[in-house]
Structure 1
């Protein structure tokens, strides 16, 4: 679990990145979840865009991904969500102390 200060720090980092995934009409299935897990292992912080034709809103997609992957949901703004998971092998982001 991350603190409010750490969450704010990650939100500031997320402002500078573009979405690398889109959730479309295919929804969220096992192959998509594996791709997101791999991206989180490499980058630690990712942004995902939820398209209107996906049939779900950003909150539903966020909750489904967080529970499936075990990552931290950092932010939901409009149709974009930001996820964070500390990498085991490629640690790049140094979080501030709690």
Structure 2
């Protein structure tokens, strides 16, 4: 599954106002980090993740692993921030960023 350009544009505009809910540091993708990302994606569908690694190539590798492990799609990556999305079949209208910021 991939996102259309229109979906990406919409998600980017929503994601612009979000704060990072998970930070990945030097110890990488631990079990706890993956569990928190999974929980956040179930609740919010669209989340920002901060990857605090100095090297661009390392950030890309971690981001690819993160998306694969959480079955999420990368919407956008700028510097150390990434916006990722995973559809929830039964989203909570009070928690889902897509439903809360729907135009």
Q: 2:5 — aligned with what?
A: 4
User: 1:29, CA displacement in angstroms?
Assistant: 1.8
TM-score, reference length from structure 1: 0.83
Over aligned residue pairs, what C-alpha RMSD do you find? 2.3
Q: Report if aligned partners of 2:22, 2:36 keep a CA contact under 8 Å in 1.
A: no
Q: 1:29 — aligned with what?
A: 30
Q: Which runs of 5+ in 1 are unaligned?
A: none
Partner of 1:57: helix, strand, or coil?
helix
The structure-2 alpha-carbon separation of the partners of 1:77 and 1:50, relative to structure 1 and needing over 3 Å to count, comes to: same
User: 1:53, CA displacement in angstroms?
Assistant: 6.2
Q: Which runs of 5+ in 2 are unaligned?
A: none
Q: 2:91 — aligned with what?
A: 90
Q: 1:38 — aligned with what?
A: 39
For this pair of structures, how many residues does the alignment match? 95
Q: Deviations over 1:11-31 (max 9, x none)?
A: 111100011111112211222
User: 1:88, CA displacement in angstroms?
Assistant: 2.7
Q: Report if aligned partners of 2:53, 2:59 keep a CA contact under 8 Å in 1.
A: no
TM-score, reference length from structure 2: 0.80
